[in-house]
């Protein structure tokens, strides 16, 4: 099949998914955000799938700056509670620049690892329960699936994006690990 045909087929499939699948709607303090329904190839690893959605470019830049990509391309399984580009846009610009500075690589790595749970967590696997799970940086996160899926009271706006070595849960905030909060 030629590239034109693949692109046309992808557009038709995406249009049909968008027409029949309800968009995920999350309420934030200022406004409602509607996350686009995306259907990337689940055969890719979590980083490839995250890139294919087009919603996590800043997160992926941070993963690269921290040297975390080799780990996340590993066997897994991983659940990445990936902050969307909108989440990074709402962060203080000076703080983002400070974290992205190579001298602060360890702090950035700790921040990113707080967004990763080393197991496959889906809305279905949570089954309406709450749980405290250990993130990859050693601190615990609180998951609650009683009303949608939440991590530390933040709603997952792009749920259950499957990948070969895990799952991505898109969130509209950058989570702060307890150590970073305490040090401020």
CATH number of 36-182: 2.30.180.10
pLDDT in tens, 23-55: 333 333 333 344 444 555 668 999 999 999 999
pLDDT at position 177 is 86
**Per-residue pLDDT band at 143 (split at 50, 70, 90):** very high
Sheet holding 166-171, edge to edge: 116-117, 78-83, 166-171, 154-163, 150-151, 140-144, 130-134
pLDDT in tens, 72-125: 999 999 999 999 999 999 999 999 999 999 999 999 999 999 999 999 999 999
- Put simply, whether the predicted model's pTM sits higher than 0.85 gets the answer no
């Amino acid at each position: 099949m030629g590239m034109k045909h693949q692109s046309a087929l992808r557009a038709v499939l995406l249009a049909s998914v968008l027409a029949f699948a309800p968009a995920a709607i999350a309420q934030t303090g200022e406004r409602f955000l509607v996350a686009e329904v995306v259907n990337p190839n689940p055969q890719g690893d979590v980083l490839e799938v995250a890139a294919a959605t087009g919603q996590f470019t800043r997160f992926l830049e941070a993963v690269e700056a921290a040297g975390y990509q080799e780990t996340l391309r590993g066997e897994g399984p991983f659940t990445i509670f990936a902050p969307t580009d909108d989440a990074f846009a709402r962060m203080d610009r000076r703080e983002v620049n400070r974290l992205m500075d190579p001298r602060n690589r360890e702090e950035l790595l700790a921040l990113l690892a707080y967004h990763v749970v080393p197991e496959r967590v889906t809305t279905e696997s949570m089954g309406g329960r709450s749980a405290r799970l250990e993130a990859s940086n050693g601190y615990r996160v609180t998951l609650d699936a009683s009303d949608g899926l939440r991590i530390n009271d933040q709603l997952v706006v792009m749920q259950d994006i499957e990948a070969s070595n895990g799952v991505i849960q898109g969130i509209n905030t950058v989570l702060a690990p307890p150590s970073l909060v305490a040090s401020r």
